[in-house]
Amino acid sequence: MSVPATPIDPYSLTTEGLAVLVEELGQPGYRVEQIRSWLVRGVDDPQEMTDLPKDLRAILAERFAPARPELIDHRVADDGHTHKLLLRFPDGEAIETVLMLYPRRATVCISTQAGCALGCPFCATGQAGFRRQLTAGEVIRQVVVADAALRSGAIAGEHLPTDSPDHITNVVYMGMGEPLANLPATLASVLWLHDPDGFNLSARGITVSTVGLVPGIKRLQELDLPVTLAVSLHAATDELRDELVPINVTHPLAELEQAVRDYRAATNRRASIEWCLIGEVNDSDLQADRLADIAKRLRAHVNVIPMNPTPGVRWKEPSGARTRAFVDRVRARGVEITLRDTRGRDADAACGQLLASYTLGGGSRLPAAVGAAERVDALAPDETAP
Ligand code: SAH
Ligand code: SF4
């Protein structure tokens, strides 16, 4: 008796997996390319794949079980330049995907986990805790949904920037979750997005953001693609970083710095450093000087993002004057530094914040993260010195 094949989400199939399936079904190899090109265009129902023979469509309809997300909210901010999509998967888990439109660039910011276990105390996703991993298919879907919406004109509106593209050109792994804590889905989706039969995006146009999971940086490096690495640093001394980014206890700054240096040597890609600027927490002259030292050693560009207010967190962004002083001080030390706008603030668009307005809590957290906010509050400003 033959065992019925387990239904597969077609977006979770790697190129090799799809090739095995096609071969198993006695089909020629070019079917892989045909099926992929439908998936890229957002068509996951084999019955709609009109260039496939009818009997193949029927077999695939039995084998595929597409995990289609439902769009449950769409908030628009920044005069139509930012679109925040809340997607819910069939099991009820919701995640967010943000589309950002610029002249000649359409970037989608995608999630890799429902929630996050790493518990950075300023981050809404971190406060909600970890709920579950996303599959590779669920990660890729977010790009497909955003791309299809752009191509179909569903995201249009009178305020669209005139020369923004009608398709996705860049992908940033900066939504909910820690991409390098979900390596199977992150690595498989990067390959799919870069694959010429997949999304065909340039590796340089793909950015993976991490708080510094060193083993994951090494695995990303092994893909041997010049994917851009963004390191969410937020603190330049171990004492402060242990509190702001609790995974620092496991992978402290020196180890992280070495991993980023190795990544650059292997991929020939400079990393960027992300710094969420929090008033009276990480905006001191000492942190600016230490940040400049690290950025110079890594030859990394620094992006400063003033902290977005997060429910349940008392911290705020620093004043405009303090923000400028911090940025100027780092720049004066010869570092390239950009002050980013907080895109989509009027649509709650900071990391995890749209979801936070629906549901907060219920997930698990890294033990080191519990109580981190209270411990940072208790630090006197001069105690953040090493
Ligand atoms: N876990 C990865 C990927 C998520 S990226 C990482 O942290 O890098 C999410 C980005 O949003 C990170 O750079 C994070 O520092 C930033 N962020 C989180 N909470 C924020 C807040 N309240 N205001 C501004 N930026 C925030
Ligand atoms: Fe997780 Fe990144 Fe938020 Fe930290 S900043 S809790 S790693 S999503």
* Distances 313 to 240, 326, 348 between C-alpha atoms, Å: 17, 22, 15
CA of 34 to the centre of ligand 1 (A): 37
Nearest alpha carbon, ligand 1 atom 8: 210
The pLDDT assigned to 180 comes to: 98
The whole-number pLDDT of residue 100 equals 87
Full set of structural domains in the chain with CATH: 10-63 (1.10.150.530), 70-384 (3.20.20.70)
The per-residue pLDDT for 345 is 52
Give 165's Cβ-side CA count (13 Å radius). Answer: 14
Contact 214, 193 (CB under 8 A): no
Give the residues surrounding ligand 1 with Cβ less than 6 Å away.
Answer: 122-123, 174, 178, 209-211, 232, 274, 276, 305, 307-308, 310, 350-351
Average confidence (pLDDT) over 354-358: 52
| Helix (H), strand (E) at residue 141 | helix 136-152
Sign of the torsion formed by the C-alpha atoms of 126, 128, 133 and 139 = negative
Mean pLDDT, residues 18-45 taken together? 95
Cα–Cα distance measured from residue 309 to residue 321, given in angstroms and rounded to the nearest whole number: 18
pLDDT at 351 over 70: no
278-302 average pLDDT score = 97
pLDDT, one tens digit per residue, over 148-200 is 988 888 776 555 667 888 899 999 999 999 999 999 999 999 999 999 988 99
95 compared with 374, residue with greater pLDDT: 95
Token code pair at residue 181? 């804590």
96 is catalytic: yes
Q: Annotated catalytic residue: which of 120, 123, 276, 351?
A: 351
Q: Could you read off the pLDDT of 38-73 as tens digits, one per residue?
A: 999 999 999 999 999 999 999 999 999 998 999 988
Rg (the chain; Cα; Å): 22
Q: Which residues line ligand 2 (CB under 6 A)?
A: 116, 118-120, 123, 125-126, 177-178, 211, 232, 351
Asked if residues 342 and 308 have their Cβ atoms less than 8 Å apart, the reply is yes
> What is the identity of the amino acid at 18?
L
